[in-house]
Chain A
Amino acid sequence: AQDITLRDTSDSGVSVFVLHPAFFYRDLYLLLFQGQFISTFVGHLLANLVLHQTVERIHVGKKYGDIPRGIFVVRGENVVLLGEIDLEKESDTPLQQVSIEEILEEQRVEQQTRLEAEKLKVQALKDRGLSLPRADTLDEY
């Protein structure tokens, strides 16, 4: 059982992020964590993560908004990817930070357009006698 080096880098307070699909339905929901890992993860059994000073970052187009979330507990089986944030790259990002209200509004609008487009698609398929596959018939793991 090895200790993965991300643990070491977190001690110096480097930000990491977790790609977390299970959190918001349908969306690949990204959570950006800033701060330290408190628990280690050992080999593949990505142990549950406890993170403090977490910041949730929502991306819409070229804008993003940060929501401070405090302490987060993440069940390891939901973790897809852990990325180590390079602070230099972070400081010259082409993305524009906006306020929380604005990003939530943008997200709502984007969600709405997507749902409407999907409704049209489903209807179009229905009209042709087709339907979308059910999730449980797709293989998972």
Chain B
Amino acid sequence: MLFYSFFKSLVGKDVVVELKNDLSCHTGKRRVDMDSCCRIAICGTLHSVDQYLNIKLTDISVTDPEKYPHMLSVKNCFIRGSVVRYVQLPADEVDTQLLQDAARKEALQQKQ
């Protein structure tokens, strides 16, 4: 719940979502070449988030459009929470101290 609330507080801010999409292509016994792993990073405005940390972004742009021409005509998108690797946040929008304290509290509560 903590990060759900956290992301809710960031609605309207610009973020970059990096997907871990490529790993699911490499299930099983096949060898993986990490360099050729596609790692799409999508920049956009955080529109909404849900309890599963699915993300909706508006006004998106892909950080490497030559590699991923697929998204050129997409403005808004929904990203399934389970495929997100990173969410890059604007540094001045996040109070890391507060977040750290809240996370500790949550961890303690979960232990009980």
Contact = CB atoms under 8 A, between A and B. Distances in A.
A44 B50 contact: yes
A80 to B, nearest CB: 5
Interface stretch (B8-16, B20-28, B86-94, B95-103): B20-28
Given A44-B52, A79-B80, A138 B75 contact: no
Contacts of A43: 50-52, 54
How big is the B interface, by class?
Answer: 35 or more
B50 A64 contact: no
Contacts of B74: 17, 83-86, 89
A84 B23 contact: no
B77 A83 contact: yes
Contact of A135 (B31, B69, B71): B31
Contacts of A85: 73-74
B21 A133 contact: no
Given A28-B22, A44-B50, A86 B73 contact: yes
A131 B21 CA distance: 23
Contacts of A121: 33, 35
Interface residues of A, number: 48
A109 interface: no
A134 B73 contact: no
B83 to A, nearest CB: 5
A79 B78 CA distance: 10
A135 B29 contact: yes
B5 interface: no
Interface in A69-116: 78-87, 89-90, 93-95, 114
B28 to A, nearest CB: 6
Interface string A28-48: 101010000000000110100
A4 B22 CA distance: 25
